[in-house]
Amino acid sequence: MRLYPSLPGPLRRTLALDLLVAALLLLFVWLGFRVQDAVLELNSLSRGVTQAGGAVQETLRRAGEAIGGAALLGGQLREALQEAGGQTGGTVAATGREAEARVNSLADLLGLLTWYIPTNLLLLRYLPDRLAIVRRMTAGARVLGAGPLTPERRRLLAHRAAYGLPHAALLRHTRDPLGDLEAGRHDALVAAEYEAAGLGPPAAG
């Protein structure tokens, strides 16, 4: 498998694009954690509610213990205060804990979506083209390196380049591709064919 072209210009462009994509993927991961942390800061409110509820419950419990030894209604007052503490402070504390759990779940979800959505959009745009380039370079290297570059093979490659490559690709190597083919000047056309496979030009024949 051939991952990168051997020509300096295409190699630099491919490496730069790969590094850019890798940097964006790391950025999306960082953003996901930042969003998660930002949402988790809302838990300060939930923890405050939990602590307040716990404080109310503890205060009423202590008050009940303090008067529980009274001669007449101490026991009943203690039970009433403890029950009130459970119904008020306990309920508030449970509400705070439930809110904290929901905030945690929301933070995880938003952080995951912040990473997942742009990552998938980027890879769906990038990977098909990148894999197509890898397959093309791999197949081209296998075909062009399958045998010695004899004069007849050079002639066949020149014909393939002249008939198969886009005009812009041919004009990067010669001003008159068809004239070169007609005159038997194959070097520029062969170089264009090698370039299309991501390979450097072969030695002139």
Query: pTM higher than 0.95 for the full model?
Result: no
**pLDDT for residue 71:** 45
Q: Give percent of the chain with pLDDT exceeding 70.
A: 71
**pLDDT for residue 111:** 92
**pLDDT for residue 68:** 52
State the DSSP string of 96-143. Answer: HHHHHHHHHHHHHHHHHHHHHHHHHHHHHHHHHHHHHHHHHHHHHHHH
**pLDDT for residue 34:** 92
Tens digits of per-residue pLDDT, 161-196?
Answer: 999 899 998 998 999 999 988 898 998 999 898 888
**pLDDT for residue 37:** 86
Residues (pLDDT < 70) of the chain are: 43-97, 203-205
- The SS3 call for residue 149 is coil
**pLDDT for residue 117:** 95
Please state the domain extents for the chain. 8-138, 147-197
